[in-house]
Amino acid sequence: MFNSEQNHWFVRKVIFWRAAASVAWSVLLLPVTTALFAFLSRFSLFHPIQWISGGQYSFDFVLVVGVFNLEYYTVVPSVPCTKIALLGKVLHPQQSVHSLVHSMMGIMVTWCAATMIGGRYWILAAPCSEEEGVTGQKMCLNEYYLFFLLAGAFMGYSYSLLGVVRNMNYVSFQTIQQCKYLRFKGMLPQVVRYSAVQSLYSVRNYCLFYFFFGYIPRAWICTTLNVHEDSSLHRLDTVSGLLDFRLLYHLWLSGTFLLLTWHITLLLFRIFITEAYSFPVQSSFSEDVSQCLPKVLSEKQPLILKFLALQDLFLLSQQSLSRRMEVFSLSQPGGHPHNWNAICKECLSLLSDLSQRLVEYQEVVASNGRARPLSSHSDQRSTSSETLVTSGTEEQLQTPQQSIGLKTPSSVFLRSTSLGLHTPMTAPFTPRQESPFSSSSVNRFVGNVDPSSPWYGSVQSPHVMRRGPKLWTASTGSPPGSSLPPSPTTIPSPVPAAQKPGLFSLWLQNRQEQVCSRYSDLCLPEASSQALFADSQAHIWALEGLSNLVAASYKEDRFGVVQTMLPSILSTMLLLQEAVDKHFKLPHASSKPVRSTCCLEDSTFKTLRFALRAALKTAMYRITVTFGEHLHSVQMSAEHRKRLQQFMEYKE
């Protein structure tokens, strides 16, 4: 279960403990929510024993939700570029497991809730009412009970589904550092409101669902358990049956209780996991060197470690004089600025990787925009930007050194989950590979990736998945039929479970471009831009940290270690500035996304490109304001000097 990433010291020592603490706190909060629920459901506390026993069960489910949070979280969201890709994401086997488990837990929690409410929700089968059951001991189905349990399953499933659609597993970092308690306190009213509203929607949808399909589970339960339907009572899949306000109130309340416990667990998990962690800048003990900031920054995995390290760099550059002095200090003996060199090199490589990624994207857009005849004239722009990414990725991945070396930071930053979350998803998107499609896909399903394949390593990253649909569409420059993979019959039989969604999403991908070009509203034109900047929080911190350090060095750097790097820092930033400026001239790049209303649907990643642009300008200005005229003596190319002059005259 635990792969190498999970065995990383940071995950073992910090992340697990943080996750455990968040789960512990949500368990501690459970009695409060349970008491509140019991109070609201009955307006009395006559039977305290019952709800205590009920609460004990829901304790287990919070644990399960907590474990799921830990398994599924990501700091880089996966942005589906089309609605079809989104559908593929939803139908993904991994996601099916998630949904199934959540449905089960939903059933269990509503069962607890039903027990706590008591009354008519007490038992599934009861002796039939008097008129009918005079003669024998016929057992009749208590439809309320069934209705309640199904509602739990429905809500669990819709929670899981909405989680995917709204990227609930994405963990974003706060702009300000508040202490955990205050953050939780500030968010709690919003979470309660959000849970109540979501529960209301769920109840509405569920009622519709039950109205049309309620007879199926009822008949099934009746035949399996050999109970009868009580004809003297109202059926619940009728309008009059559903207009029982007490029932709806209890349903809504249980749903709110269910969602609230899960949302609180999620919220606490996010708060604990994103808490700033202070890494030592240098250590005098050699065994601790691997845990110091310069070393940690250069590590690729796990991503959360990289992000926390960059956040720590940002904070130390801004707030801590003593730690900045450690960064600027020289090694003993030797007198080399190892700390600064390592930090600066890592930040610069991050930034130049981003500008390279942007330039590649632009080149692809530019070249294919001319070369490729578009199949549709309805929405040329969106189609071109859509398809173009595609082949760009393809080119990139076909070049062996790029795909194997994984130079792009996007893949560097990605968290490959222990369960191989995205692995099966990527499998169908590899039709251009030399090896037959079938075998490679099967290999990946069972988890053994052939190390000699160029896909080894890269396949696990969600980035490829994110680009997956584009990879696929890349081949559709040729007529659509020819892009079909080898016949599905070659797929061996042992994996029938995984086969279906794989093929289905494959088929979906196949149809994607045609649909996309025909019905342009199915495509999400902005998404490719969002996907390009999905991990930009890291770049923002690198920019802020680096520019703060450079600005601080004006007064604090006694040995002049920063000065030697100043030309390369400036040129890297200017190159990135150029690339970002060009990117914002592309269609859809500067259109603003719709702001999400709620706290838990985190849409920070949608605006990261704007944040990056602002951070880049601020970083440039910070350096020019601090150094002023001295920058004239820094060596750089004429073009960069011209650009820098713009900054010095405040004309950017």
Select the residue interacting with other proteins from 322, 482, 487, 489 (CB under 8 A).
322
* Shorter beta-carbon distance to other proteins: residue 273 or 608: 608
User: Does residue 650 come out as left (phi exceeding 0), alpha (psi in the -120 to 50 range) or beta?
Assistant: left
Looking at 116-124, 455-463, 574-582, 610-618, which segment touches other proteins (CB under 8 A)?
Answer: 610-618
645 scored as a contact of other proteins (CB under 8 A): no
Residues 439/440/444/448 CA torsion (nearest 10 deg): 80
362 scored as a contact of other proteins (CB under 8 A): no
Q: How far is the CB of 182 from other proteins (least distance, A)?
A: 7
325 scored as a contact of other proteins (CB under 8 A): no
* Shorter beta-carbon distance to other proteins: residue 177 or 378: 177
Q: Is the dihedral of CA 588, 348, 363, 581 positive or negative?
A: positive
Looking at 60-68, 312-320, 386-394, 397-405, which segment touches other proteins (CB under 8 A)?
Answer: 312-320
Select the residue interacting with other proteins from 67, 446, 497, 614 (CB under 8 A).
614
Q: Which residues pair with 125 in a beta bridge?
A: 141
Select the residue interacting with other proteins from 43, 240, 595, 629 (CB under 8 A).
595
588 scored as a contact of other proteins (CB under 8 A): no
Start-to-end C-alpha separation, the chain: 52
186 scored as a contact of other proteins (CB under 8 A): yes
* Shorter beta-carbon distance to other proteins: residue 554 or 610: 610
* Shorter beta-carbon distance to other proteins: residue 71 or 652: 652
CB 518 within 8 A of CB 382: no
3-state secondary structure of 422: coil
What's the rounded Cα separation, in Å, for the pair 453 and 435? 9
Looking at 74-82, 240-248, 485-493, 605-613, which segment touches other proteins (CB under 8 A)?
Answer: 605-613
What's the rounded Cα separation, in Å, for the pair 278 and 283? 13
* Shorter beta-carbon distance to other proteins: residue 186 or 560: 186
Looking at 91-99, 228-236, 316-324, 374-382, which segment touches other proteins (CB under 8 A)?
Answer: 316-324
* Shorter beta-carbon distance to other proteins: residue 175 or 452: 175
Q: How far is the CB of 274 from other proteins (least distance, A)?
A: 13
Q: What is the largest CA-CA distance in the chain?
A: 105
Q: Which of 543, 613, 602, 534 is nearest to 172 (CA)?
A: 602
DSSP for 494-555, written as a single string: T-HHHHHHHHHHHHHHHHHHHHHHH-GGGB-TTHHHHHHTTTHHHHHHHHHHHHHHHHHHHH
Q: How far is the CB of 192 from other proteins (least distance, A)?
A: 15
650 scored as a contact of other proteins (CB under 8 A): yes
610 scored as a contact of other proteins (CB under 8 A): yes
What's the rounded Cα separation, in Å, for the pair 31 and 17? 22
591 scored as a contact of other proteins (CB under 8 A): no
548 scored as a contact of other proteins (CB under 8 A): yes
Q: Which residues pair with 140 in a beta bridge?
A: 126, 228
* Shorter beta-carbon distance to other proteins: residue 493 or 591: 591
Any idea which residue has 């830990």 for tokens? 70
What's the rounded Cα separation, in Å, for the pair 151 and 161? 15
* Shorter beta-carbon distance to other proteins: residue 629 or 649: 649
Total binding residues for other proteins by CB under 8 A?
34
Any idea which residue has 């990383």 for tokens? 8
Q: How far is the CB of 175 from other proteins (least distance, A)?
A: 5
Select the residue interacting with other proteins from 176, 284, 370, 585 (CB under 8 A).
176
* Shorter beta-carbon distance to other proteins: residue 61 or 173: 173
Q: How far is the CB of 606 from other proteins (least distance, A)?
A: 8
Residues in the chain: 652
3-state secondary structure 463-488: HHHHHHHHHHHHHHHCCHHHHCCCCH
Report the 10 Å Cβ neighbour count for 226: 9
Residue numbers of the site for other proteins (CB under 8 A)? 174-179, 182, 186, 318-322, 544, 548, 592, 595, 604, 607-608, 610-611, 613-615, 617-618, 621-622, 625, 649-652
